Structure 1
Amino acid sequence: MDLKIKGKTALITGGDSGLGIATAKFLVREGVNVVLSDKDNGEELKKAVKQVEKDCERGAKVVSMAADISINQEVLHLADNIEKEFGGAHIIFHSAGARGAAGDFLELSDDDWMKTIEVDLMGAVRVARAFVPHMQKLKWGRMIMVASENAFQPYVEESPYNACKAAVINFSKCLSRSYSKEGILFNCISPAYIETPMTDAMMEELAEEKDISVEEAVQWFVKNKRPHIAMERRGKPEEVAAVVAFLCSEHSSYINGSNIRIDGGAVESAFG
């Protein structure tokens, strides 16, 4: 399917791994210029650019630009650099985030909460504030934010993350009502238990705790913590990226203010 976005430019935050790389590959095959961004321009981000370059077609270009989304000035600088090099960003896939502090609610400090909020909620606010003006100028835009199943089915040990991801969905809905008449659409995706560095780290920690292999930890986690995943496995980044690529396209022109769950059935309710 031709997504009809050849020649447009996309920014992918959290672009050095997982969902960022998988989505970038979809977009560059459509002829979209992609800026991969993460908090530092280290080896992981450079490796990501090389991976994505192999998929470039139809004149697409991929570059890296560092920015820490918890620092407003760095996000503004990123916006300026993209405008100088590409004339602005038409598409934002905001996948940067962190699990943040986890544990018993009564043991989490204000600082624990604020560190999570600065990345998972205020990061989305800063990116939107910096890049909506690009889309207004270009008279076309798509912003897709990564929420989570946790927004609908919160897990007791992750209260800051749960709250931030619910807030991201509400924030995206708010923006969708503000700018849709200018051709700018906002949507969220809510993945669950996808093969990403974040769940890799969780499984490595679980494996060490239970003195089992990582694969055994994955199987234990699915059975005991995610019993509603009918496929009995983690999702693949490409399975999420395919949905994101569609939401970036011209074909998604009547999808606005929505949240799409990509969770293998992990959320128990039919209406979450």
Structure 2
Amino acid sequence: MKIDLHGKTAIVTGSTSGIGYAIAKGLAQAGARVIVNGRAAARVEEALKKLRADVPGAEASGVAADLVTAEGVESLGSQVEDADILVNNLGIFEPKPFLEIPDSDWLRFFEANVLSGVRMSRRYLPKMLEKNWGRIVFISSESGLNTPAEMVHYGMTKTAQLAVSRGVAELTAGTGVTVNSVLPGPTRSEGVSEFFGKMAAEAGVSQPEMEARFIAEHRPTSLLRRLADVEEVANMVVYVCSPQASATNGAALRVDGGVVKFIA
């Protein structure tokens, strides 16, 4: 199978590092014109420089905008009026005991992880429907199915993304537009790696040992028995964005290493 996305424009939100950057890189390798996004202009420029080095000849540009806000979405939309592919990757996470999560954190997580994708999809879906071709992908999480006790507010937002994704997919019935979710399991992104590095230092063990402990204690159903690499997640996303995935719509596609013990 050869995925060819030449002539397609793809926006990947929150793509200066981690899973988002890996998705941007994968789409660029498939020939798409990629729009890299982050809050800070310096981080966006740094990511673009890396992308052009990783994918020689890549057609890429960047937009610095805080998509947690409606103003940020409007700013990006005014600079990129049309897109064939939208990957709603922007998200935040933070372990915190349920009884210590204030209302402000619930609202902050909902706006960052859910409303950013709602606003971006509302902005770009109409033209996709007009053209009768488009791909919208929400990067959810296995935590959307297995709510983690250590960060209930995060799990709530990832479940909400599944509902939004499926609901928006209903609007595409009979068209060439698809809307899907991809659910990574524990993945070694920069943020997650820093998190485990800090935990390892506090416990006086190596980072690989701390990662292994986490999988054994907190994700014991994992069949992979390790953290996934960001490229492993990106590969699924690139496929879902391709013409070859035209019959996949309204789906929640797991790249969770077998953590979720559901057949369907």
Structure 1 residue 72: deviation in Å?
Answer: 0.7
Partner of 1:270: 262
SS at 1:37's partner residue?
Answer: strand
Partner residue of 2:75? 77
Q: Which amino acid letter does the alignment assign opposite residue 92 of structure 2?
A: A
Task: Give the total of aligned pairs.
Answer: 264
Q: Is the 8 A contact 1:146 1:189 kept in 2?
A: yes
How far 1:271 sits from its partner (Å)?
3.5
Counterpart residue number, 2:53: 54
Aligned match of 1:199: 192
Q: Deviations over 1:72-113 (max 9, x none)?
A: 121122112112xxxx1100111110014x322222111111
Q: How does 1:159-178 map to 2 (within 5 A)?
A: 159-178=152-171
Q: Is the contact made by 1:145 and 1:168 (CA closer than 8 Å) also made in structure 2? A: yes
Return the TM-score normalized by structure 2: 0.94
- Where does the alignment leave 5 or more consecutive residues of structure 2 unmatched? none
Tell me which amino acid in the other structure corresponds to 2:6.
K
The alpha-carbon deviation at position 26 of structure 1 amounts to 1.8
| Cα distance in 2, alignment partners of residues 73 and 170 from structure 1 | 24
Residue in structure 1 matched with residue 20 of structure 2 by the alignment: 20
**Does the CA-based 8 Å contact 2:139-2:183 persist in structure 1?**
yes
Kindly provide the amino acid, as one letter, of the partner of residue 73 in structure 2: V
2:133 aligned residue: 140
Shift of residue 137, structure 1, vs aligned partner: 3.9
Counterpart Cα distance in 1 of 2:201 and 2:219: 20
Q: In 2, distance between residues paired with 1:232 and 1:45?
A: 33
Note the C-alpha offset of 1:232: 2.2
Which residue among 200, 204, 217 is the counterpart of 1:224? 217
Match of residue 204, structure 2, among 205, 208, 211:
211
Quick check: 1:7–1:31 contact (8 Å CA) kept in 2? yes
| SS in structure 2 at match of 1:98 | coil
Q: Normalising by the residue count of structure 1, what TM-score does the alignment of the two structures yield?
A: 0.91
For structure 1, the residue ranges without an aligned partner over 5 or more in a row are: none
Matches within 5 A, 1:27-176: 27-42=27-42, 44-56=43-55, 60-83=58-81, 88-100=82-94, 102-176=95-169
Q: Using the TM superposition, give the Cα deviation of residue 56 of structure 1 relative to its aligned residue in structure 2, in angstroms.
A: 4.0
Q: Alpha-carbon deviation of 1:19?
A: 1.3
**How well do the aligned residues superpose, as a CA RMSD in angstroms?**
1.7
Equivalent residue of 1:179, what SS? coil
Structure 2 CA distance, aligned partners of 1:180 and 1:38? 32
**More displaced stretch, 212-221 vs 247-256:** 212-221
Structure 1 distance, partners of 2:214, 2:149, is 15
Aligned to 1:35, what secondary structure does the other structure show? strand
Query: How far did 1:154 drift?
Result: 1.1
Tell me, what secondary structure is at the counterpart of 2:262? Answer: coil
Question: Letter of the aligned partner of 2:93 in structure 1?
Answer: R
User: By how many angstroms is 1:55 displaced?
Assistant: 4.6
Residue identity in the other structure for 2:139: V
1:195-251 CA-partner distances (Å, limit 9, x unpaired) = 112311321232133122222211221222222223321101111111101100100
Does the 8 Å CA contact 2:178/2:249 hold for their aligned counterparts? yes
Q: What fraction of aligned residue pairs are identical, expressed as a percent?
A: 30
Distance 1:134 1:49 in 2: 26
Larger deviation: 194-203 or 146-155? 194-203
Distance 2:4 2:132 in 1: 16
Change in Cα spacing, 1:61 to 1:180, as seen in structure 2 (3 Å) is farther
